[in-house]
């Protein structure tokens, strides 16, 4: 849900209009798009970024942001993020030749071809390893942002290849100090952030976390991630969201078009509808008391019912349908009462002919993300939205 709507990096009027439309859309709650904690490193040049201030005009605009989300009483949760090594050239106030930061100096790896290698070097480069002081600064900035937003809740973005995600993963964190090595040390920064946030916000403040199922490549990875979830559980997090993907493996950006040999969308069973339910089932079995949310691929009321009825999760995250129809939740609720179903087909976004010839997965995923950002922009301007053209 990248809005791409703020040159100033503060909430803009069109952004507020989009959230007000969702606030009136019947949703059970609203999790915002990324709100970056440091203007030096942004995920894109138009990201919203929080810089705690005493400026009454800026404070008033952030207050309007909260009021827009909660216009009809839905709880609002702000998604705090640091892009880490996924901050592209030109995004943020960092110097032109300033390196991105990461737990270890491991660059993004796209496909093994000249196009992908060149794009990676130009857009992202090789990050530098963060100092302990910089890690502590990231912890502080998360806490300061949460305190500034203390009327709402906060979710920490530890998925999709952003900074907290690559701290947690063994293939991207090769540190030998207190922030690397064991499963506990790799999640230490996240635990420190949660502790720092809890120290400065009211006891009723919600803190959740989004985790990356795509980091699980083998059995040992699953066990280490389960250990990390146990540490998160011990902090008293309010919910855990399962998603997945990164710029290297853009699983969260893929559309609904079936893979070769797979049945068309309309013929898939409801239980196969969500992308990340299999991993959620493992988490549910190990941690039945954790409030679990799954985001990715839900396109029908019946699919949501199937996930909830088998107790695979407690909350359903919906993104693309909300971007093409801010009122979709109200339609679901209406059919819930009537005993019917609602199905929204969203085929994969087809990149332009030229872009399709560039052998980089992230480029195609970028076209997918840009399409839905455009729809959010249209919601903010009060214009009609559309779904991607169908392929059959």
pLDDT tens-place string over residues 341-390: 999 989 888 776 555 555 556 565 678 888 999 999 999 999 999 999 87
Q: Residue 356: its pLDDT value, please?
A: 57
216 and 165 Cβ atoms separated by less than 8 Å: no
**Burial bucket for residue 170 (CB in 10 Å: 0-12, 13-18, 19+):** middle
On the question of pLDDT at 281 being above 80, the answer is yes
Q: Residue 277: its pLDDT value, please?
A: 85
Q: Please state, in angstroms and as integers, the Cα–Cα distance from residue 132 to each residue in 18, 51, 109, 183, following that order.
A: 39, 22, 25, 18
Whole-angstrom Cα distance, residue 273 to residue 270? Answer: 5
On the question of pLDDT at 176 being above 60, the answer is yes
Domains and CATH numbers, the chain: 13-380 (3.20.20.70)
On the question of pLDDT at 66 being above 70, the answer is yes
pLDDT band at 160 (very low <50, low <70, confident <90, very high): confident
Q: Residue 258: its pLDDT value, please?
A: 44
Q: What's the first-to-final CA gap in the chain, in angstroms?
A: 26
Residues 6+ away with beta carbon under 8 Å from 125 = 89, 99, 100, 107
Neighbours of 254 (CB within 10 A): 19
pLDDT band at 91 (very low <50, low <70, confident <90, very high): very high
Helix 219-234 to helix 277-286 angle (10° resolution) is 60
Backbone φ and ψ for 253, nearest 5 degrees, come out as: -100, -5
Q: Residue 81: its pLDDT value, please?
A: 95
- SS3 state of residue 76: strand
- The two tokens of residue 182 are 């064991």
pLDDT in tens, 248-261: 555 444 544 444 44
314 and 297 Cβ atoms separated by less than 8 Å: no
On the question of pLDDT at 229 being above 70, the answer is yes
Number of residues that make up the chain: 392
pLDDT in tens, 1-22: 789 999 999 999 999 999 999 9
On the question of pLDDT at 391 being above 60, the answer is yes
DSSP H stretches of helix in 93-201: 114-123, 132-148, 163-168, 183-198
Q: Residue 362: its pLDDT value, please?
A: 58
Burial annotation 115-147 (CB, 10 A radius, 16+ → b, else e): ebeebbeebbbebebbeeeebeebbebbbbbbb
Q: How large a percentage of the chain has pLDDT more than 90?
A: 64
Neighbours of 248 (CB within 10 A): 16
pLDDT in tens, 211-224: 977 655 556 678 89
Whole-angstrom Cα distance, residue 196 to residue 37? Answer: 14
């Amino acid at each position: 849900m990248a809005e791409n709507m703020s040159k100033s990096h503060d909430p803009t009027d069109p952004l507020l209009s989009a959230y007000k439309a969702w606030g009136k859309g019947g949703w059970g709650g609203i999790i915002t798009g990324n709100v970056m904690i440091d203007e030096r490193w942004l995920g894109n040049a138009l990201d919203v970024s929080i810089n705690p201030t005493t400026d009454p005009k800026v404070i008033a605009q952030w207050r309007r942001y909260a009021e827009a989300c909660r216009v009809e009483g839905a709880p609002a949760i702000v998604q705090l993020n640091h892009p880490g090594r996924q901050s592209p050239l030109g995004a943020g106030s960092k110097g032109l030749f300033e390196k991105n930061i990461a737990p270890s100096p491991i660059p993004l790896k796209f496909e093994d071809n000249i196009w992908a290698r060149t794009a990676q070097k130009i857009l992202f480069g090789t990050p530098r390893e963060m100092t302990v002081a910089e890690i502590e600064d990231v912890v502080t900035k998360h806490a300061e942002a949460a305190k500034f937003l203390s009327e709402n809740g906060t979710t920490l973005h530890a998925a999709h290849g952003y900074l907290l995600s690559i701290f947690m993963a063994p293939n991207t964190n090769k540190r030998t100090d207190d922030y690397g090595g064991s499963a506990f040390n790799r999640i230490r920064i996240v635990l420190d952030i949660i502790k720092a946030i809890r120290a400065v916000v009211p006891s009723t403040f919600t803190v959740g976390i989004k985790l990356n199922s795509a980091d699980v490549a083998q059995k040992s990875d699953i066990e280490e991630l389960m250990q990390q979830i146990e540490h998160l559980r011990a902090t008293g997090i309010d919910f855990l969201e399962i998603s997945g993907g990164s710029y290297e493996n853009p699983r969260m950006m893929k559309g609904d078009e079936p893979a070769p040999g797979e049945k068309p969308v309309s013929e898939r069973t409801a239980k196969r509808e969500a992308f990340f339910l299999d991993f959620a089932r493992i988490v549910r079995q190990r941690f039945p008391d954790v409030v679990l949310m799954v985001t990715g691929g839900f396109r029908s009321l019946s699919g949501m019912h199937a996930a909830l009825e088998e107790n695979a999760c407690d909350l359903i995250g919906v993104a693309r349908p909300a971007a093409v129809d801010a009122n979709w939740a109200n339609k679901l609720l209406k059919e819930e009462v009537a005993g019917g179903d609602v199905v929204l087909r969203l085929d994969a976004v087809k990149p332009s002919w030229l872009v399709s010839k560039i052998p980089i997965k992230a480029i195609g995923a970028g076209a997918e993300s840009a399409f839905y950002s455009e729809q959010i922009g249209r919601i903010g301007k009060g214009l009609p939205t559309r779904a991607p053209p169908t392929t059959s």
